[in-house]
Chains A and B, each alone.
Chain A
Amino acid sequence: MNYDETDDIIAKKYWNAEPHFDAEGVWSALEPRLRKKKRRSLLWLFMGISFMVFMAFLLIWTKNVEAGGDVAANKMAKDQSKQEKVLAQLGNNSNEPQEVIFTQEEEYLKDKSLYSIEEHPNPKKSTSLIMNVNLSPDLSLKSKIDDEALEVVQSISKSTDNDSEMESELSTILSKGDNFDRQLKEVLESQETLSIEYIQSLTTSLEFVRSPLLMDGVISFREMYPSNKKNRYTFGIFGGYFLHSRSLEHAGGVNFDTYNSRTAEEEALDAFDLGIRINYDLSDHWGMFGGLRYSTAFVGRMADYVYLETITIPEYTVRIIQTDEGVVEEKETLMYDGYYQHRSNNYLQSKRLGFLGGVEYRLGEGRLSSILNLGLEVPLWTDHSGIITHEGRPYNLASESIDIHNPQVLVYTAFGVRYELVDGVGLQGSITGFLPLQNEYNPSYQINKKSTLLGANLEIQIGL
């Protein structure tokens, strides 16, 4: 017996071994360990945010100490200047102390600037800690068939554990079109309703605004609680850099926003925005803005549930028959109408470069101020592509790739109201929305169905 023979016999013995593997048991032990790592990364995120907050307060405290000295020196110089001017008005050049008496209130008001320390030319000089509470209703036309479909699948599942038997039973139901089938159809058709889904989120962010060169950096953590009870964790980083001058509200800015969303086991969303925007004040109330926005979005979804839907699948059968009269070609077309239990996987990648332009109107009285933005985003370049995979029974459909070029003009609207409770502390509410003008095929349709997202947020801003 040579070595090769020995090796072969040993190898075959090992290969033919079929050790029992408790896959579900091992997975249930492994799964918590995988999730544990995520929690650890969230902990790091919180620690990072806490560190930033600490550093911000340290920075603010240091700045305030320095600023305090400047203010005192400035005040002394102004007082000196004021005293000299008043004395000159009185025609008294003596250095002896004089009592300054204003006989008319108007005169005092006219000369008020002499008695006050000038305000900073840029009121935006502040460092703010902003806490956002968002409430976003998601208006969607959704087919509420999932639960019904699950019940059907469950009822069939209970009758047998065998996959092929289950498939056979389902096929039989579908092919017969019996009473059960009709009842199911009625249920499905009656359940397509307009639903409103609220997504609540809590955002904490820290924003720095410094003039005349404004820097704006926000790190935020958002935790969203959709009404379907599935937790959605999102975190984002927003960074920006803005130039500022007196004539231009924002001479230029660049910002990016990236976030990652996980809806329990079913959806992933990555988005990246990069934009530049210029604001110009036409008057006290009116302003205009224009800019470019580049955005990418990746949406992936692997459905965790089974649902049934009515489909029509054409099947063509072609038979070539050789007869005495020659070759005869027979064509047969079959149309199946049935309930399709399926699972869908969608991956959609969307890229868009758009020009954003519009006008804004500001109104303010006392502590109340409001701003309205209205604009259009016109696509300069778009690229949407993706893959949709349907898998299901009793019919299996292959994956289809989609490549869509459907530039959409978006209407951009934003309305915000702010009430300043005390100096530097305000309540702010705003509603923003991107509404598509065209209602053609939209990649997001596959994910969000027919939905238009309107967002509203209540913001508590504490100026420091």
Chain B
Amino acid sequence: MKAALWQLLKNRRMDIQQLINQVRKGMPLAQKEMFMRFSPELYKVACRYCSDGHTANDIIQESWIKIFNNLSTYKEEGKFESWCKVIVIRTALSHRRKLKIHVDINEFGFDDYSLDPQVLMDMKLDDLMKVIDSIPRDYGDIFKLFVIEGYSHKEIAELLDISPSTSRCKVSLARKKLRSILSHNIKSMTI
């Protein structure tokens, strides 16, 4: 019955500030509403940093526990969604660090290959993700933060505790690496 009522009420959106206040008061139903409202977008973010849906679900769970526990520290200076997104990204990156996947950055070299845009457009997302994940983790993560999440180098530097120039450098190398891998793949397919 509760589920049916929830379904019935799910479109009744309240102001985000009211919702935050309710969650701060520890109301379980408000927690659920907050989870249901923001999780789909946050799940998309988690998927970008996870190899499979199961891991993304774990990341989402861990992130929400952090969000609920640290809601009192949310200063309401920026958008709430952005604050949640940072937590998801931090959790996902932390999880990735534990995996200790080593990929040699020198594989395929750093030659700046030209790339046909149509090839990239025709490429399936799963294949593209595999290619990006084959870039060494440090480079790939910063590349995603810059290109997909739209963070500036300064923001990335604050997020990962590195310097902005390091971020800039790694994005540049990641781009070259990406082109290099894609060109090799296309060549091997052509041959």
Contact = CB atoms under 8 A, between A and B. Distances in A.
Interface residues of B, number: 57
Contact of A266 (B29, B68, B147): B29
B57 A26 contact: yes
Contacts of A14: 48, 125, 144, 148
B117 A300 contact: no
Contacts of A27: 32, 35-36, 39
Contacts of A6: 115, 117, 120, 175, 178-179
A3 B125 CA distance: 19
B44 A30 contact: no
Q: Does more than half of chain B's interface fall in helix, strand or loop, or is it mixed?
A: helix
B52 to A, nearest CB: 10
A347 B24 CA distance: 13
Interface in B24-49: 25-32, 35-36, 39-40, 43-44, 47-48
B191 interface: no
Interface stretch (A82-90, A126-134, A150-158): A150-158
A347 B39 CA distance: 26
Interface string B83-119: 0000000000000000000000000000000111100
Given A23-B40, A27-B36, A154-B1, A302 B27 contact: yes
Interface string B4-16: 1101110110110
Contacts of A157: 4, 8
A3 B175 contact: yes
Contacts of B179: 6
Interface of B: 1-5, 7-9, 11-12, 14-15, 18, 21-22, 25-32, 35-36, 39-40, 43-44, 47-48, 53, 56-57, 60-61, 64-65, 68-69, 114-117, 120-121, 123, 125, 128, 132, 144, 147-148, 150, 175, 178-179
Interface of A: 1, 3, 5-7, 9-11, 13-27, 29-31, 33-35, 37, 150, 153-154, 157, 163, 166, 262, 264-266, 268, 270, 300, 302, 304-306, 343, 345, 347, 387, 389, 391-392, 399
